[in-house]
A and B are shown apart, each in its own frame.
Chain A
Amino acid sequence: MALLELRDVHKTYHLGGEEIRALDGVSMDIEAGEFISIIGPSGSGKSTLMHILGCLDSPSRGTIKLDGLMIEKATSRQLASIRNQKIGFVFQFFNLLPKLNVLQNVELPMIYAGANAKERRDRAMEALQLVQLENRAKHRPSQLSGGQQQRVAIARALVNSPRIVFADEPTGNLDSHTGEAILNLFRTLTQQGRTIVLVTHDPEIAALTPRRIEIRDGKISVKVDPRLAGLDRVPAVAEPGKAA
């Protein structure tokens, strides 16, 4: 049984009579320990897919199964606990709380996990060390650069040691050196048995992950991107589970 199973997932938005199919029949399996990149043009539905995978949004049609649990049947309390314990989410637009400092932002998931103050502080500092921001703990998000904010968002996603991390363009604002450091961090995490799913525009980064999924107009594209062809050792739509 796969860690995550998507079956014929649709997400449709209705805007003034017009129907927008952000996701149009997506089926996929994600195994524990996989390192997956999702690529695709802007507006193709990558973020929408990530939100559904991360149990933040529900599909208009279709089913998702996480760890054997049917998400549409889960109670809101179960969902909250899944978001808190099993999933770490790095948003495309960071979504840090502007009134809290960096440390408090990273501590946030642990507050809802019920950790005590000392434990929260210690683990938040550890997470900040992973993204090399321990010296910015007392700063407000507004006092950081875009790349630094992104790293804070990554630290927050990692702090509760989730089984799966979803990262929507985690390296989009980073220089190649820092981006590589983040990718190395993710790779180490997969080696520890964690599952990483990241969205990227950058074919070079996508090429570094063992499995790639391409999205086009809300569908998983079977066609291999010609730019990626040369870099590929495995097909763009890989057989799931082989890397683990």
Chain B
Amino acid sequence: MNLWSAITLGFKEIWSHKFRSALTMLGIILGVSSLVAMSALTAGMEKGMKEALIAIGGLQKIRVERQELPIEQRHLRDQAPGVTMDDLKAIRASAPLIHEISPEMRLQRATVTANGKTIRPFMLNGVWPEAIAMNEHVVEHGRMFNEIDDEMARSVCVIGTETRDELFGDPEKMGHEVIPLGETIYINSVPFTIIGMFQHYESEQAKKIRELKAKEPKVPVVPGAPKRNRGWGGGRQGGFVFYIKNAMIYIPLNTMWIKFKAGNAMQAGLSTTGTPKLDNLQLKIGDLETLTPAIQQVHNVLMSSHKGIEDFTFRTQEDWAEQIANQIKNARLSGGMIAAISLLVGGIGIMNIMLASITERVREIGIRKSVGATTFDVFVQIVVESMVIALVGGLLGLITSFGLVQLLRSLSPTDNAPLITASAMLVAFAFSALVGVVAGLIPAVKASRLHPIQALRYD
């Protein structure tokens, strides 16, 4: 008997027990679709993570921050210089593995007033123009302040769309574009002119959702009804990483120092001479491979310029990336486990049905053997039949997985929208074939070993 007749025979057998076969397939359908859906889920998470990682400047970014001294150096606390512009110069001069460097000075608990509204910005940083490249910012309207603005300590600022939304209104709610260039905002009562605005940062998925929403008809406003806030708008939908970028306000570093820091330092009785203290230094290396040697290099430079006082620390995105990668790995593992178990259960279902089916068909097998079917012919017939059930189930499972993923997508419209991959489908389908073969083995061996006359006498 050739393979083709075995396959047609398998289909006939399945067709003659439609309900039973459908129930048997259900196990495989669930197994395959959950396998594909699980991998889609983790693939979506991975994609979201990569986007977020790029948005914060990638793994090549190192931050030098001030740190409490180690215990054995505590007595030198008053000698600790902190992170300063001197460090920046030293690193620039003696750490060639560092390609970019950008200082940052933060204004804590700032208030920003404009357009009759007052907000507390999430982050207000004094930076150099280099911060744009360092943090993957794109100035869409106006311009970033330049070296001259910084030198002159001009009161100019560049804001993100979140700040714009809060102070001047969300263009989606207003129904028209809002570009507050040239407007004046008051940072701790000091007037600043907005000279630039970043583009709106969001994940691809958030963008899609937003565009979809824009196409939907607006909720009709009942005339005369009191105005109400319909809850959290799209503001934070883009994920926290994107929110932080959108809520950013940049002012020149010098302006920050002169307008907000130097005076405070004087009042607090701290030194206003010497180089200004920074909150951190952002460094960027060229190649991820050089991360460890680069940190070593900077460490050496700073240890010498700080006279051996280790009052600084390094922060990279590795932990964060690793954490997320771990989460994805765990999700993949547990998801894979669930899918594997359901495939296994599906396989047991097939084996069960095949065993029942051959007991039902002992006479048939006896007849086939008596007209010349070999042991192998019978074996192939049963295995193929089991495989056909599994493969049809697998195929239906792949189709079902699309629906399942659609369901998951509508349940959690986040940046991590599940993403069906061809390789996941291939793997799941191959697994269903494997399950079919394995489940068919025992029944096939049992059937092929039947003795023709004993089988014919069976009832």
B368 within 8 A of A: yes
Q: Which of B316-371 contact A (CB under 8 A)?
A: 363-364, 366-371
Determine whether the beta carbon of B1 is less than 8 Å from that of A112: yes
CB B4 to nearest CB in A, in angstroms, measures 9
A119 within 8 A of B: no
CB B11 to nearest CB in A, in angstroms, measures 13
A97 within 8 A of B: yes
Determine whether the beta carbon of B375 is less than 8 Å from that of A108: no
Determine whether the beta carbon of B16 is less than 8 Å from that of A84: no
B412 within 8 A of A: no
A92-122 to B contact mask, C-beta < 8 Å, 1/0: 0001110100000000110111100000000
**Given A80-B374, A95-B456, A111 and B5 contact (CB-CB distance below 8 Å):** yes
A97 cross-chain contacts in B, Cβ below 8 A: 364, 367
B373 cross-chain contacts in A, Cβ below 8 A: 80, 112
- Please report the C-alpha to C-alpha distance between residue A191 and residue B363 in the assembled complex, in whole angstroms: 34
A81 cross-chain contacts in B, Cβ below 8 A: 372, 374
B2 within 8 A of A: yes
Determine whether the beta carbon of A76 is less than 8 Å from that of B371: no
Q: Which of A51-96 contact B (CB under 8 A)?
A: 51, 56-57, 76-77, 80-81, 83-85, 89, 91, 95-96
- Please report the C-alpha to C-alpha distance between residue A56 and residue B453 in the assembled complex, in whole angstroms: 6
- Please report the C-alpha to C-alpha distance between residue A50 and residue B5 in the assembled complex, in whole angstroms: 31
A187 within 8 A of B: no
B204 within 8 A of A: no
B5-44 to A contact mask, C-beta < 8 Å, 1/0: 1000000100010000000000000000000000000000
A219 within 8 A of B: no
Determine whether the beta carbon of B456 is less than 8 Å from that of A80: no
Which of A77, A112, A114 has the most B CB atoms < 10 Å from its CB?
A112
B452 within 8 A of A: yes
- Please report the C-alpha to C-alpha distance between residue A111 and residue B12 in the assembled complex, in whole angstroms: 16
A156 within 8 A of B: yes
- The size bracket of the interface on B is 20 to 34
B377 cross-chain contacts in A, Cβ below 8 A: 80, 112
B2 cross-chain contacts in A, Cβ below 8 A: 114
How many Cβ-Cβ contacts under 8 Å join chain A to chain B?
62
Determine whether the beta carbon of B453 is less than 8 Å from that of A85: no
Determine whether the beta carbon of A84 is less than 8 Å from that of B456: no
- The size bracket of the interface on A is 20 to 34
Determine whether the beta carbon of A80 is less than 8 Å from that of B369: yes
- Please report the C-alpha to C-alpha distance between residue A4 and residue B371 in the assembled complex, in whole angstroms: 19
Q: Which residue of chain A lies nearest to B364 when distances are taken between CB atoms in the complex?
A: A97
Q: Which residue of chain A lies nearest to B9 when distances are taken between CB atoms in the complex?
A: A111
Determine whether the beta carbon of B367 is less than 8 Å from that of A84: no
B375 cross-chain contacts in A, Cβ below 8 A: 76-77, 80
CB B322 to nearest CB in A, in angstroms, measures 59
* Residue among B366, B368, B369, B372 making CB contact with A85, cutoff 8 Å: B372
Q: Which residue of chain B lies nearest to A48 when distances are taken between CB atoms in the complex?
A: B453
CB A82 to nearest CB in B, in angstroms, measures 8
- Please report the C-alpha to C-alpha distance between residue A225 and residue B218 in the assembled complex, in whole angstroms: 104
Determine whether the beta carbon of A109 is less than 8 Å from that of B374: no
B368 cross-chain contacts in A, Cβ below 8 A: 108, 112
**Given A111-B1, A114-B2, A95 and B372 contact (CB-CB distance below 8 Å):** no
Determine whether the beta carbon of B369 is less than 8 Å from that of A51: no
Determine whether the beta carbon of B372 is less than 8 Å from that of A112: yes
- Please report the C-alpha to C-alpha distance between residue A159 and residue B453 in the assembled complex, in whole angstroms: 21
Determine whether the beta carbon of B453 is less than 8 Å from that of A83: no
B370 cross-chain contacts in A, Cβ below 8 A: 56, 83, 89, 91, 95
Q: Which residue of chain A lies nearest to B16 when distances are taken between CB atoms in the complex?
A: A99
A56 cross-chain contacts in B, Cβ below 8 A: 370, 452-453
CB B14 to nearest CB in A, in angstroms, measures 12
- Please report the C-alpha to C-alpha distance between residue A83 and residue B374 in the assembled complex, in whole angstroms: 10
CB A45 to nearest CB in B, in angstroms, measures 14
**Given A91-B456, A99-B16, A156 and B371 contact (CB-CB distance below 8 Å):** yes
Determine whether the beta carbon of B363 is less than 8 Å from that of A95: yes
Q: Which residue of chain A lies nearest to B376 when distances are taken between CB atoms in the complex?
A: A77
Q: Which residue of chain A lies nearest to B451 when distances are taken between CB atoms in the complex?
A: A57
Q: Which residue of chain A lies nearest to B371 when distances are taken between CB atoms in the complex?
A: A109
Q: Which residue of chain B lies nearest to A109 when distances are taken between CB atoms in the complex?
A: B371
B5 cross-chain contacts in A, Cβ below 8 A: 111
- Please report the C-alpha to C-alpha distance between residue A108 and residue B367 in the assembled complex, in whole angstroms: 10
Which of B5, B366, B371 has the most A CB atoms < 10 Å from its CB?
B371
- Please report the C-alpha to C-alpha distance between residue A156 and residue B368 in the assembled complex, in whole angstroms: 12
A83 cross-chain contacts in B, Cβ below 8 A: 369-372, 452
A-B contact pairs, 28 of them (CB 8 A): A56-B370, A56-B452, A56-B453, A57-B451, A76-B375, A77-B376, A80-B369, A80-B372, A83-B369, A83-B370, A83-B371, A83-B372, A83-B452, A85-B372, A91-B456, A97-B364, A99-B12, A99-B16, A108-B371, A109-B372, A112-B1, A112-B368, A112-B371, A112-B372, A112-B373, A113-B372, A156-B371, A160-B372
Question: Told that A109-B371, A109-B372 touch, could you supply 19 new A-B pairs with CB distance under 8 A?
Answer: A57-B452, A57-B453, A76-B375, A77-B375, A80-B369, A80-B373, A80-B374, A80-B375, A80-B377, A81-B372, A81-B374, A85-B372, A89-B371, A91-B370, A91-B456, A99-B16, A108-B367, A112-B368, A114-B2
